[in-house]
Amino acid sequence: MNRAIPTEISTEIERRYQFACQLADSAAQRAMTFYRKRQQLAVEHKGGDLQDVVSQADRDVENQIRDTLATTFPQDGFLGEESGGQPREAEFLWVVDPIDGTACFLNGLHTWCVSLAVLYRGEPVIGVVCDPNHQELFHACRGQGAFLNQERISVHGAHSVEEGVMGVGTSHRVTPEDFVPFISHLLGAGGMFIRSGSGALMTAQVAAGRLIGYYEPHMNPWDSLPGLVLVQEAGGITNRYLDDGGLDHGNPVLMSTPALYPQLAEMIVQPLK
């Protein structure tokens, strides 16, 4: 964090960090039981968008996470993709996506994850992304570095977009004009990109040095906040996502290696925070 905090608060953050890793792993294993029988799941579409789906697995896993937190940290706030949130006056707020990449999940792809973050007084201090298909747990706590399972990770060493692969994401919450120019500029500079279907997982892969960066013109907080902590703790740079109500309505996301951030920011047509 940007300011010193009392020892007792550091202890409370550490308690939640250790628990968040266990909780994400447990939730991911529960999600896997649904994944193995995904063809039997009831599926709905959000707001008439056929690309934005939710299944009974999403709701079940989020309920498990919310109920566990209510027992273990009853004073903490909660914000979930499927069930919304409680009042956010609590010092600690858990922000959760039970299955990021639901469309991939339902179609038998391995690019989905459980994503959760913890905020202390409005600042992200913990980020955890669990990928059960590859038995990978990405986790970070403010000031402690970023890790993949037990191994410390760091961002890519690229100084040019030609030296690696960029992760990107988009949705029907934005127009093609908000997204396509970035792809054109990236390709024109000799870069290449991948879109896996799970933004949270791609941000974790930026922290692990597998991708040189990640850009999405609008990203919800339950998908973006874990990666913000992970990438910053892995030595990368992110935009000020939470400015101007990012926690309430989302914002653009850009994160990358320090050397590449200015170059990538120039490729974006919409203003970044």
User: Binding-site residues for Mg(2+), please?
Assistant: 81, 97, 99-100, 223
198 Ramachandran zone, left/alpha/beta (phi>0; psi -120 to 50): beta
Tell how far CA 7 is from the center of its chain.
28
C-alpha 105/C-alpha 245 separation (Å) is 30
Rounded Cα distance, 184 and 180, in Å: 6
- Whether 236 and 207 have beta carbons less than 8 Å apart is answered as yes
User: Which residue ranges make up the annotated binding site?
Assistant: 81, 97, 99-100, 223
Structural tokens at position 15: 């308690």
How many Å apart are CA 90 and CA 204, to the nearest integer? 27
- Structural element, H or E, at residue 45: strand 43-45
SS3 117: strand
